[in-house]
Amino acid sequence: MAFDYDLDFDNIDFRKQPELYRVGRGEQGVLMVEPYKSEILPHWRFKTPDIAKESSEKIYQMFLDYQEAHDFAGIDMARKFLQMGYTRSRRYANYKGGKKYDKDGNVNKRNIDEEKAESARLFEEKWTVVREDEDYLRRKKEHQKKYG
């Protein structure tokens, strides 16, 4: 599913207009979809494993709350933030300062930071639970069938 970048995201409340929400690939649109961005982003942190654990658990709880409210866009956005927690933590685990490329566009040498790798593992654990959740998968399929 492609994300419709022609939409005026600043003026759309996707909770009120779920028919406009598109799943997209991976983390696509994660920082554009309101009110979810504003609800979830303040809890999204991964600097240390303790912070990542608290963050991933809070976002997972938000996933469950959105699920209970039958709010598919919220469910999917929580999934995206968990995925983004994993991918960003992993980037910082692999490359000092999270910089994969140097100023000339060459790939920097990997230097594994075990603390950041543990943060990534914590997010990945919750992301895996969410992306394999049968209710989530069913709702995703229904949403895509109904709205595209």
Encoded tokens for 129: 């639970």
pLDDT value for 25: 87
Encoded tokens for 87: 């991918």
The Cα 47–Cα 116 span in angstroms is 7
pLDDT value for 1: 38
Which tens digit of pLDDT belongs to each residue from 105-145?
A: 999 999 999 999 999 999 999 999 999 999 999 999 999 99
Residue 138, classed as helix, strand or coil, is helix
pLDDT value for 4: 57
The Cα 117–Cα 94 span in angstroms is 8
Q: Which helix (H) or strand (E) holds 147?
A: helix 134-147
Per-residue pLDDT 10s for the chain (148 aa) are: 345 555 666 789 999 999 999 998 889 889 999 999 999 999 999 999 999 999 999 999 999 999 999 999 999 999 999 999 999 999 999 998 899 999 999 999 999 999 999 999 999 999 999 999 999 999 999 999 999 8
